[in-house]
Structure formats: structure tokens, C-alpha cells
Structure 1
Amino acid sequence: MAGLAIVMDLLRKNPAVNAPQSFHSYGAFSAAAAAAGTPFAFRAFLGNRIPIAHCDAGVDVTGDYLSNLQSASRKIFQHESLQYTTKEYNIELKPLFSAFQWRMLGMTTLRSFLMFYLPLLEPRAKLEDEDDEDFFNDAQEEQQVDLVSPFKKSIKQIVRETTVVTTRRILERISVHYFSQRIAWKLLKDVPKSAIRKAGRGLPTSVYFFRVSRTTFRGHALGVAASWLVQVGIEIYRYISAKVKPKEDDISDETDKIILLRKKIAGATLRCSTSLVFASIGAGIGATLFRPSTGQWIGCAVGDLAGPVIVTICVEKTLNLDL
């Protein structure tokens, strides 16, 4: 009983026991929670003074740490943005009916008329070199120059070229709509400007030749595809028109017509494929030997014209096929 009285006397003299315990946010466990977990007699003898260590500099340390972390991450992101830049694909579509613009239509018309009317001047130039005037007059009277057939051929060539260009514009819009932006950008890339950019990088000659040829192959693919579609469409139209309206002197069998149609389509496919390959190789050679933009354009044009002619002559001589 005496011990109990001493304990009660100590409790009355200690005001910290009866005062409300404050809750501190210095950690996960507070002083009140720690005192609640101790025995009653232990709190009475120690006066509810539990040895708890508090760190008053915790907030400042955390703030400094966060600020240092933010600055370091900002520097890292700035460095990464310098190394890994996002490439933008700028796709510029030409007008759908650009083939009917005055400048392009005029160039197409001039080229078509020169293509079919220049051969008519060769016999006249040969005859002018002859010394015998009587022979010249007789030959001039006997030879009548046909100006109607070249005119019709020129009109057909103009229609064909404008159809090819318009078909290419349609294919460009299809590629932009259905393909990814990266693929569409490669198909619609301005190849001469790309050759200039590649020349400024200081690439080795072999690497530069390969990359220009590859870029030309991609940029020239839609044009060749448009030409192939037009040629195949013309052959199919001729086959259908001959089937619907047969001529009187046409005694060929239906099987022969189908075989001829297949041969024409195969010949168009072979010519277009060789045109694409030779144009790419010629563009690489021209850009390597001459100025990048001019050499690429000249090499592509020469390869586009020479490739089908060379392959057609080789196939006709070796396989005796009329392509």
C-alpha cells in the first residue's frame, strides 16, 4: 500500500502525464504512440520522457535533394535532346492536274512534236547534199511527205504523257493516305535536293553512289508505276475494243489475242523495271561524276531512256520476241 501511494503521488506531481499528448509529424511514429506502447510504471518513473531522436533538418535536406535531382534531370534531358533530334517529314503534294499547267503542257507538246517531226527532216537534208539538181527534183516529186500521221502520233503522245503525270499525282495521294508518313516522304522526296544534301556530308564515293541510287529508286518508283499502269491500260483497251468491234480482216483466234496481250503486258513490265533500275544507276553515276543535282537529273533521264531500249534489243535478238 505504501508503494502504491508513492506511485500515485508521483503521478500527481508530473503534469506531462495528464496533459494532452501532441502528435508530431517528424516521422511515422510519434511520441504519443511510443509512450502508449510502454508500461504504466515505466512512464511514471521516467516522467513520460521517451528518448526519441528528431531531425530538424529533414525538410531542408529533402528540398536540396529534390532541387539537385531536378537540375540534374534537366541537364540530362537537354543533352539527350541534342543527341536525339526528332526528324520531321515535310510532304509537299503537287497539284493533281499539274500536267495541264501551261508550262508543263507546253514542254510536253514541244517534245512530242519534235519526236515525230524531226525524223522527217533527215531525208530532205540528205537530198540537199546531192549535186545533181535533176535528181533532186525528181526525188522531190516522187516523195510526198506525210504530215498527218506524225501529227496524230504527237497528239497521242501528249495525251499519254499527261495521263502518266496525272496517274502519278493520284498515286502520290494514295501513298500519303494509306502509307506511313516516313514511307510517303521517301516516295515523294525531291531527289536532286537530296543529292545536294548527301554531297555536303562528305561521304565516301561508293557510299554516296549507293545512297543517291537508292534515293532515286524510291523517288522514281511512282513515276514508273504510273507509266506501267497507263501502258497496261492501253493494251487492255485495245484487246477489249478488238473483241467488241472485230475488224473484217482480223482472222486471229481468241487464244492468239490473249497470248499477244500477255506478251504486251510482260514487255511493258520488263521495260518499266529496267527503266527504274537503269535510271537509279545513271543517277548515281551522274551525281558522282558531275554536280549533284544536275548530274543526278541527267543520269536519271539517260538511264530512263536507254534502259528499256537496251533490254528490248537484247531480248528481241536472243529470244526472238517482239516486245
Structure 2
Amino acid sequence: MSPYPSPTSDRPLAGRTIALTRGPARAGALGAVLREAGATVLTVPVVDFAWPADLGPLDDALTALRDGRFGWLAVTSATTVTALTRRAAALGTGLPILLAVAGDRVRIAAVGAGTAAALERAGVAVDLVPATGSGAQALLEAWPDASPEQTPVLLPHSDLAAGALADGLTARGWPVTAVTAYRTVDHPAAPGEAIEPENRWSEAAGERLTVAAAQERRPDAVVVTSPSTLRRWLAAGDPCPIVAIGLTTAAAAAEAGRPAAATAATADPAAVRDAVVTAVTRPVVSNPTGSPSARSADRDAAPPTPERRWKA
């Protein structure tokens, strides 16, 4: 007899416990969708985001962006949106206003649907987003070809960025200025260094667990949001099935010898929920490392996002 309540079409995760490697304040819509599907969600903030040791290069880049010295702003994460918004405010303006001063010369590219949504919530219209998937390769495939009139690209990023997007754009003839917008650190960031508001972990935001405490509850699957959250989860050794958000995270899981049981092509909550359902309902077999893992299978494609392409 199954130890779980019988799932239904509207509650396919009934009785399941899912760990989500985000804190309560960041779990947001994804946590809500998983709960609506019947899951008990454990919010586990394993990383935090801190300002660069030197904010001068980021502030200089924003000033240059305002002055029209860049033709593109390429944004690779929702955390980058937060960093740009807060630094624009520190410079005495808002990000939408700063971009408005720059005028129509600046186009905005987002690495995926989740980042595009974060930009739009911040009041910034997005000109280019991949039709399917997310990540450097997806954005490169959607990026326009270089021309004699191409203008420089500003690429703010994490200190852990691999450089694939900058390298790909440069190889195609686009001049790129990369600047560190934030650092990825163990949770929690030191007081005064976190880019999020200081009260972000208030009790009102809900319970948050350490990795060890979450693993003691024996979750049926863990949703890992990035290679850095994956590494921190695996460091504690839990063998539960992994659900990766994005191909980059899935690749990191494979390299770590713990292939993802399912992968969501984007951070869209419905796509992640569907990947979680796939992971927890697959038969369990042994992976090459000898640890239990969900059986590999072809991944379902996420619903496409309408691609926005820049027009000259």
C-alpha cells in the first residue's frame, strides 16, 4: 500500500514533502503552486546575496547606462534586477527613470521568463527574451546578429557567473562590459551587506529551515534553483530526488554525479510543479553512484514563452 494519500488531478502532490532551496520571502508563487498541488513545502534558504566589496564599478556602469553609452542591458537573474533597482535608488533615481533618461537607445534583454517578469514588476519593459528555456545559450540564440551599428552591451552579473554570455556575445562581434552586481554567499549575508531589505526574514514571512533540519524531514524531492544551491544541498548528503530549474543547474547535478530526476526548463511555477510531479512519481532505481535516484526519462518541454525580438 502506498504511504501517500491518493493524488488527484488537482492535487498531484498530496502527502508529499518538497524542499525548496529558497527562503520564505523568495518562495513566493512557486511555494504557493506547490502547496496548491497538495505538497508540504519546506523553505530552505541556503544562499544569500550580498553587495560587491566595491560598489564603484556598478555605480559607474549605471551612470554610463543613463548617459546613453550602452545600447543593450542584458539581465541574467531576478537578483540582478534587485541589485540594479536598489543601486539606481542610491544614485538618486529609479531604474525605470534612469532608463528613460537614456532614451530609446537602450534595449533590455532578459535571460528567461522569470527574469523578464522581475524586470516588468520593477517597471522596466523587456525587448528580448528567449521563446523557450532560459540561460546564456537560450539568450544567445535569440540575440540579433551584430551589424556595423551595434552598440555596447552592459552585462551586470553574479560573482559566480561563468562568462558564457559575455564570451558568446563577444565572439559574435558585440562589445561587452561585464560588471559584478552582487555576490552569492552562504545564508545569511552579513548585516549591512545583503542586497535585500534587512527585515526580509521576519517571522511573518514563514518558517525557514537549515539544510540539516530540512533533510531530517526526509523530503520526497528537493527543488534546486542554481548550481550554488545544489552544491550546498549535496554537501549534507541527502539522496532524495533532485528537481533542477534550468539546464545549467541540471548540468551541475550531472557533473556532481547526482543527475536530476526532472528538469524545469524555466522558473515558471507551473513548469517547476510539473517537474516535481514527474520526479516523485517515477520508479526509484540506483544511479551510477549507488544512491537512489528517480529514473531518467525524456523531459517534457515547458510551455513556450512568446519570444520578443529587437527590431531596428
TM-score by length of 1: 0.22
Q: Which has the larger radius of gyration?
A: 1
Bigger relative CO (Cα 8 Å, ≥ 6 apart): 2
| Higher percent of residues as helix | 1
